[in-house]
Each structure stands twice: as C-alpha cells, then as structure tokens.
Chain A
Amino acid sequence: MSKFQKKKKGMPAVNTASLPDIVFMLLFFFMVTTVMRETDLKIQKPKLPKADQVKKLEKKSLVSYIYVGKSKDGSAGDKIQLNDRISDVKDVRSFIYSERAKHSEAEIPLLTTSIKADMKANVGTITDIKQELRDINALKVNYSTLKGSALDNVK
C-alpha cells in the first residue's frame, strides 16, 4: 500500500496569486474616476444647500465656477473666489471674459456659470454676481446644490 501516501492534514493555503490583479483593477478604477481638484479653496468650504429639482451639469469643460463663502480667518461678509484668489464682484466680468477666451465662438452661448455658495451667504451677494453676469450676457447659471429635500435647509 505504499502507493497511497497518507493524506496531508490541514487546510491548504488560499492562493493569493490573483490578489495583485484584483488590486490593480481597483487601482485603475480609481485612477480613471479621480478628478484632480483644479483650484484650491481660499475661502471656507461652502456648505451647499439641498434641493431636489436638480440637473446634472453636462459638459464639465463648459462650466466656470464661482465660489461664495466666508473667508478663512472668519472675518465678516461674504467673499467671492474666482480661480485661485479672492476677488471683488467687479472682477466677475473679466473672469467670464477670460473663460470665454478659452472656448471657440460656437461654444460661448453654452457656457454655464456654476455658483457654489454657502448656505449662510446673503442673497445680495448672489444678486450682485447675477447682475454682472447679465451685463455681459452670460445667462446660463446653475446654483450648485446637494441632492436632498429643500425643506431641510430651513429649520
């Protein structure tokens, strides 16, 4: 009976040879979905309000962002951030012009301005921005919101 060796006892180790493959798959997923943040926030991160009548912004390249919120040192008043610095309402105009310069003539009517404003910001600030946008005919705006019930905003 020497032909039949005694069976080894104990569980065989789980084969981990495919572990790198699995990890790589995850890695590629995250590499592809990652969007590197283009601008650093100079103001406090705006706490966006919630709403349920939301639309998704279609083409990211056609969107320019305006941030509104409190400054980092906590001083009073709303601050507006365009690109990488805190600016004045009057600078919105030149900001939009510079955004337009990056696009072709045909795309200009499709450009959208996304306003990311803090829940506690004043409507006055937003109105000033809107007035500037109207003056230079940048009419498509999007008020950035989280998905949720609008009734949660006011308690």
Chain B
Amino acid sequence: MARRETPEINAGSMADIAFLLLIFFLVTTTMDIDTGISRKLPEKQDPNVVPPILKEKNVFEVNVNRNDDILVEGDTYMQVKDLREAAMKFIDNGGGTNADLQKDKLTACTWCEGDKNPASSDHPKKAIISLQSDRGTSYAMYISVQNELVGAYTDLRNRYANKKFGKDFKKLKVAEQKEIQTNIYPQIISEAEPTK
C-alpha cells in the first residue's frame, strides 16, 4: 500500500485572520485619558473651631464671577495669562524681617527674589492664595485658574531646585522634594465656598 502523506494545512489565510483581529482591536482601542490636576480637599472642620486670624497682606485673593472675569486682591481685573506671574510675585515677595517672623519660628526668606514689599506677603510659608468662584463660573475657567495657581508654585519650585541642586524639581530625590514642599515653597491654596 502506498504511503499516504498527511496533507499540510494551508496557512495562506492566516494573515487574513490576523488582519481581521488586528482591525477589530484597532477599532475598539480607546486611549483613555488618565491625566489631570490633582488636589487634596480640606478635611471637614469642626464648626466650633475659630479660624485663625490672617494678616490681609498674606492673603492673595482671587475671585472669579459668573461671567468668568477674574478679580485679584479685590481691585484689579486680570486675564488668566497674567495670573501666574502675579501669584509668583506675591508668593515670592518675602517682605517679612526676622523680627516680624519670630513669633512663628520662621526666619526671613533668604531664597526669595521678590521685591520685599512690606505690603505684600511675609514669607512663602505664610502666603495664602484664596480662590473664590461663583456657582455659575464655567468649569473651563475654574480649571484654568487652578492650573495657573498650581503652575506658579511649580515654577518657583523649579527655579529653587535649579539654583540649589542644578536640576528640575521633578528630577530631585524624594527627600529633597519633600523639603521644598514643606519648608521652601509649600502649596497653600484655599478654596472658599462659592457665592450663590
């Protein structure tokens, strides 16, 4: 009896099958967005706690109304693009002297490059940015303002990191980053309840 060879399976259509699957996955793939601005909400306060008294000059007030206009420090209308610079100028002012800051166990800000204007913030650790928006403010505007304020801190931290360590803040070691975050330029952005 003649030896019968098993016929080979035709693999020619393999490519077609693979293409079909490939196209299916190409179509169904959604590149999900997973980036965003991270913020930490404040913890719920005991209603009996008296809020600490702040000096007016240490608060940088930003108001956004329902027409998406920005009012800074209660008297200046500003565009979003100018907000970052204004916030940086405020945080980096460092107007306080050793004597002023003694009771808070701080010393004058030696790394600040601001104008040392006595009418503006004393120290980056005391500088508070207060953001108040209206319920009718658009989310886009809200995010832009938040982004610029966070950006002001990022820029300052980067400047300090570059000067002291010669590299960007992101590339520093965790301990160095922590040090900058807590003692050099802590991010203090407070959000007030929106106006109705």
Bind each other = yes
A contact residues vs B (CB 8 Å cutoff): 16, 19-20, 23-24, 26-27, 30-31, 33-37, 48-49, 51-57, 60, 63, 68, 112, 114, 117-124, 126-127, 130, 133-135, 137-147, 150-151, 153-154
Contact in complex: A153, B81 (CB < 8 Å) = no
Q: State the CA gap A98–B38 with chains docked (Å).
A: 22
Bitwise, B139-153 to A at CB < 8 A (1) or not (0) is 111111011101100
Let me know if B175 is at the binding interface, CB within 8 A. no
State whether B18 touches A134 (Cβ < 8 A).
no
Q: Which of B21-29, B55-63, B105-113, B116-124 contacts the other chain?
A: B21-29
Mark the stretch among B41-49, B90-98, B178-186 that contacts chain A: B41-49
B37 touches A54 (CB 8 A): yes
Residue among B21, B28, B68, B137 making CB contact with A27, cutoff 8 Å: B21
- B41 A145 Cβ-Cβ under 8 A: no
Number of interface residues of B (CB under 8 A): 48
Sampled A-B contacts (16; CB under 8 Å):
A20-B11, A27-B21, A30-B29, A33-B29, A35-B29, A60-B34, A119-B140, A122-B139, A130-B41, A133-B41, A140-B41, A144-B34, A144-B35, A150-B80, A150-B144, A154-B80
- Contact, CB under 8 Å: B18 / A30: no
Note all chain B residues with C-beta closer than 8 A to A134. Answer: 41-44
Which residues of chain A have C-beta atoms less than 8 A from B154's C-beta? 53
Write the chain A residue with the least CB distance to B30.
A37
Residues of A within 8 A of B35 (CB): 54-57, 144-147
- Determine if B37 and A137 form an interchain contact, defined as CB atoms under 8 angstroms apart: no
Docked-complex contact A140 and B28, CB < 8 angstroms: no
What total count of A-B pairs have CB within 8 Å?
Answer: 160
Asked if residues B18 and A145 are in contact (CB atoms below 8 Å), the reply is: no
Whether B53 is near chain A, meaning CB under 8 Å from some CB there, is no
Contact partner of A137 (CB less than 8 A), chosen from B22, B44, B139, B144, is B44
> Given A26, A33, A118, A139, which contacts B139 in the complex, CB threshold below 8 Å?
A118
